[in-house]
Structure 1
């Protein structure tokens, strides 16, 4: 039974969603503000976070940014009709979907179910157990990436993207192809979500002086770079 954390400063909305989700067979937990949401993510270890954008003490966008830096926890945003810019930013930060207020509890339940279904791991092409390209090395079985032998802390999705690119270093992968390799055909996610994970990957490698790990081919997608440490 999947656990859903509902983070919203409106107790009526929290209770309404908790009732609908529990009726659908989910377990729920609640948080009344952004800071409480982060604490609950650590303590309750939910399978999905329903996150309001406008909350006191810490906005939903800031919560999303901190959660996404550490994990691939699925996130469904709740937003008002006049928050289009925030919704776009939320997707760029790595949110999986959003629902506009006022909403139907049945719609939220359906979207939660769909996100969790997509998040289930699907068989993906697996390169050899050990792979090396330039100064980059991958241990596929251990889900570990290293630069010059020093491990880097990557999320499951970040490592999956890197593994996909490393499986065919000369190939340019479209965003759809990357998604298919990660989750299987039909995984519904925006291009911006893939871009967000690639941006996070580049940032982590840049922190160790690796600026040429992933190349962008305009209008096509991404490929593995030379991984020699130079700037692209």
Structure 2
């Protein structure tokens, strides 16, 4: 694989030792990995070339990682694997709520990070290969190739990679109750550590993004059972 073909991974961490270890390891495994010491350096690197994935430390001088995640999620930026000091559960939950796709506690094993990176990058490619171009429901359209969600009025709604995978899992199992475990099986890779709360916060984000003012509650909770996507879904363009 040439450098131009390799997925670009941007490692954002103010610790030069961690940046070097992670970028070297990812580079050894076929990725075009580069480092940035701050959010400002990240912005400059992204202006030069948009990365396919960002590995982001939450605790940085200047603009911190949570602010970066909020900003990237709001603009439909690349998927984010966040790094946080062990035990900082509040930051982890907030990061997931803001749009991060996965989480690793620091210090992290580079091999485990590699597995997370591969899992996150695999999701859209697998989704596009297994299904038709789009799924439609209640006037909404989920484009499986572009990973875009369009409202009934035609406006696009930004989705993180995790939100896209979860919504696709719901839409492909419409009107069937899914447990948390079944959602994790459909929306996330088996080699990615998952927390039950992560499903809850991503569902909460999806509910907000699917609220078009019509009062239709597409994602419903079934107490003691799981969740159901209670709307008719059609495949188009297959």
1:64 corresponds to which residue? 69
TM-score, normalised with respect to structure 1: 0.73
Match of 1:98 among 98, 104, 121: 104
| TM-score normalised over the length of structure 2 | 0.71
Unaligned runs of 5+ in 2: 1-5, 233-238
> Within the alignment, does 1:150 sit opposite 2:151 as a pair?
no
Deviates more, 1:140-149 or 1:114-123: 140-149
Are the structure 2 counterparts of residues 191 and 63 from structure 1 closer, same or farther at C-alpha, using a change threshold of 3 Å?
Answer: same
1:217, 1:136 → 2: CA distance? 24
Matched residues in 1 for 2:171 and 2:27: separation? Answer: 42
Q: For the aligned residues, what is the CA RMSD?
A: 3.3
Give the secondary-structure state (helix, strand or coil) at the position aligned to 2:210: helix
Of the three residues 7, 17, 36, the one matched with 1:12 is: 17
Q: Pairwise mapping of residues 73-92 of structure 1 onto structure 2 (< 5 A)?
A: 73-77=79-83, 79-81=84-86, 83-92=88-97
Separation in structure 1 between the aligned mates of residue 130 and residue 95 of structure 2, nearest angstrom: 30
Change (3 A) 1:49 1:214: same
* 8 Å Cα contact 1:122/1:182 also seen in 2: no
Q: Does 1:46 find its partner at 2:51?
A: yes
Query: Match for residue 114 of structure 2?
Result: 113
Distance 1:97 1:86 in 2: 10
Match of 1:162 in 2: 167
Aligned residue among 193, 210, 213 for 1:205: 210
Q: Is the 8 A contact 2:39 2:68 kept in 1?
A: yes
Structure 1 residue 217 corresponds to structure 2 residue 222 = yes
* Secondary structure in structure 1 of the residue aligned to 2:126: coil
Q: Following the alignment from structure 2 to structure 1, what is the Cα–Cα distance between the partners of residues 106 and 135? A: 45
What is the match of residue 230 of structure 1? none
Q: Distance in 2 between matches of 1:87 and 1:168?
A: 29
CA radius of gyration, larger in:
1
- Is residue 123 of structure 2 the alignment partner of residue 122 of structure 1? no
Between Structure 1 and Structure 2, how many residues are aligned?
Answer: 217
Q: 2: CA distance between counterparts of 1:22 and 1:169?
A: 40
Structure 2 CA distance for aligned equivalents of residues 86 and 130 of structure 1: 34
Which secondary structure state, in structure 2, belongs to the residue aligned with residue 5 of structure 1?
A: strand
Point out where structure 1 has 5 or more consecutive residues left out of the alignment: 228-232
- 1:60 positional shift: 1.0
Residues 127 and 213 (structure 1), Cα distance of their counterparts in 2 relative to 1, 3 Å cut: farther
Distance 2:41 2:133 in 1: 42
Specify whether residues 166 and 5 from structure 1 end up closer, same or farther in structure 2 by C-alpha distance, changes over 3 A only: closer
